[in-house]
Amino acid sequence: MKMDRLGLLLGTAACLAGLSACKGTRELSDVQLTRLLHVDRVAATDPRAPIDGAAVNCLKAWSGDVELTANLPPALREEAGKNGCKPRVDGWIADAERNPDKIRFEELAAPPSVRRAAALMVEHRASTTTQLPSMGDKPPAALGGPGQTAPAAPTEPSGPVDLSVATAAVSELDGMCQQAKQAAASGQSTQLARYASYCDKRIDMLRTRISTVMSRGDSRQAQMVNDNAQQLLTVARRIAAQGKAPPPAQNQ
């Protein structure tokens, strides 16, 4: 009897400590994971669609698994980083096209699901770099005539990828974009209100770039993305601080 009670207490503790222990979780298939976690602007039904690296890192952060969180960017190990990346994954979960099977976040963030998603990201990346050319493709430069050189080999992963600066910037940019939209909705004719007309597009482009570099494992490109994200954040902060548009030029 004492052992039964001990087992119940341990199970309750596990339920409180982790996302996946409280409810029965399904074993998610490769098709389900790919459909839900594929990068934007790729067909949801493509079984070899590239997996979004930023989303996988977010799920690692929420998995509660020591091994999965060991190599995460520092920003994602903090509560602010975890809370900043979760709304995007939640949005995908709420998307019926991506998630027709109504997979819950705790199922997606369960360690077995996250490990498989990370493996699929590597597998699908390899498949996209080894695809055969189609009949309409132009021949490689080396086949075009004398004096031409062979095309460069595909970029190989160049080391650990740290996109913590870019990831943190996206979270802050999201907040500023929402402020800009509120200013625009209130009818303000300010620089901040005008920022609302293009901030979403810039943030989406940055997210796509983060996902691409993360999936490729290219540390050199990661530094460029971090620098670009910091520049975008500097501009957005300046716009938010100014609030008002500069006065119109006077006719001379």
Tell me the per-residue pLDDT of 93-122, one tens digit each, with 9 for 90 and over: 999 999 999 999 999 999 999 999 999 988
Choose the most confident range, by mean pLDDT, from 14-23, 64-73, 160-169: 64-73
Alpha helices in 28-104 (DSSP H): 30-37, 53-63, 66-69, 79-94
CA 107 – CA 116 distance, rounded (Å): 12
Residue 20: pLDDT above 90?
no
Query: Whole-structure pTM over 0.75, yes or no?
Result: no
Residue 224: pLDDT above 90?
no
pLDDT of residue 139: 42
Neighbours of 80 (CB within 10 A): 12
CA 221 – CA 153 distance, rounded (Å): 16
- Radius of gyration over every alpha carbon of the chain, rounded to an integer in angstroms: 23
Picking from 104, 15, 112, the residue whose alpha carbon sits closest to that of residue 63 is 112
The conformation of residue 64, written as its DSSP 8-state character, comes to -
pLDDT tens for residues 27-78? 899 999 999 998 877 777 788 888 888 888 889 999 999 999 888 877 777 8
Between 103 and 234, residue with greater pLDDT = 103
Q: How confident is the model at residue 199 (pLDDT cuts 50, 70, 90)?
A: confident
